[in-house]
Amino acid sequence: MLKQFPALLQCAQIFLDELVITNDVFNLYFDFA
C-alpha cells in the first residue's frame, strides 16, 4: 500500500488540477454568457 501511495497522491493532484481548470473554464463561459 505504501509503495502505491505516491502514485495515488499524483493521481489526486492531477484530478484537482483538472477540477480547477474546469472551474476556470466554467467561470469564463458564464462571464461571456
Q: How far apart are CA 16 and CA 10, in angstroms?
A: 10
* DSSP H stretches of helix in 1-33: 5-32
C-alpha cell at 32: 461571456
What local confidence, expressed as pLDDT, does residue 4 receive? 86
- List pLDDT tens digits, range 1-33: 678 899 999 999 999 999 999 999 999 988 876
What local confidence, expressed as pLDDT, does residue 31 receive? 86
Q: How far apart are CA 24 and CA 14, in angstroms?
A: 15
What local confidence, expressed as pLDDT, does residue 1 receive? 60
C-alpha cell at 1: 500500500
